[in-house]
Amino acid sequence: MRRNLKTVFIKEGDFMRSWIKLLEHCIKNESLISFGDKDDPKKMRAEICSRVVLEETAVEQIIDGVNYLSKYRKQFPFGPQYVQHYVEEYSLEYIEKQAMLEEGDKGKFTYTYYDRFRRYPTSNGMLDQVEALKNNVAQQIKNGVFSNRHQMITWIPEVDTFSAEPPCLQRVWVTLIEKGSIEVHLDWRSRDLYGAWHVNLVAIINMIDRDIAKPNNCKIVRVIDSCNSLHIYNGDFDQAKSSVESFI
């Protein structure tokens, strides 16, 4: 048994092309391994460690992701409703509905990212990290002083260290680049490249644009996405190859 975790760096101005490039790198690094929980292991067909810089038109394409991804049905066969569902998960209405579901309900998730951001548990109750990050960006603008301290996290050590379903997204870091412009960094421990990489980005960046950038009269000008294990599941490998081959 051997894990071949190759590191890949990509800089792109086109959202779809960045995904295709990642698929190409991952497919070339094919290595069938089992990972996850020993009682319910998953089969990974290929993986890479990735760092992707998305800027210029790519950021605009991500924000318009519901419409943009729908133009590439040969490569992205999921449809606009699939993308829209991810976007809607980042709303207070959605996490409130989740909270109302009883334990054992098939529609109830172990966690949602937006719930962790909005209602992160603390010794004094809960912290709204989204509101705090929005206000911290406002202070950067007001004071004219840049900061490296402003971030949101999902990991709750006492809950997630021993969980069979811990969060994949770990951290969101946001900084002011200049007045009116912000940069967003996303850090992941694990990620499904074929079925979730693109829709994750669309949902999260739309949330940050709505909740943090626009209230501060800012535009997201660059997104840097880093993942420790970006992988293609065994059952998706042939479809991933077809997406690459059909891309013009």
Nearest Cα to Cα of residue 152 among 177, 124, 115, 181: 115
DSSP category for residue 64: T
Residue 212 · residue 134 · CB < 8 Å: yes
Which positions ≥6 away from 146 have C-beta within 8 Å? 140, 175, 176
In the chain the beta strands, taken as DSSP E runs, fall at: 6-12, 30-37, 40-55, 120-122, 125-127, 151-153, 169-178, 181-188, 191-192, 219-233
- Per-residue pLDDT of 137-196, as tens digits, reads 999 999 999 999 999 999 999 999 999 889 999 999 999 999 999 999 999 999 999 999
Report CA torsion sign: 150, 55, 212, 168. negative
Residue 35 CA to residue 74 CA, distance in Å, equals 29
Mean pLDDT by 10 residues, the chain (248 residues): 88 97 96 82 93 97 96 88 94 91 82 95 94 96 93 96 93 96 97 96 98 98 98 96 91
Residue 248: what pLDDT?
Answer: 67
User: pTM (2 decimals)?
Assistant: 0.94
**What's the whole-number average pLDDT of the chain?**
94
Structure-block tokens of residue 236: 């998706």
Domains of the chain, start order: 13-48+61-235 (3.30.572.10)
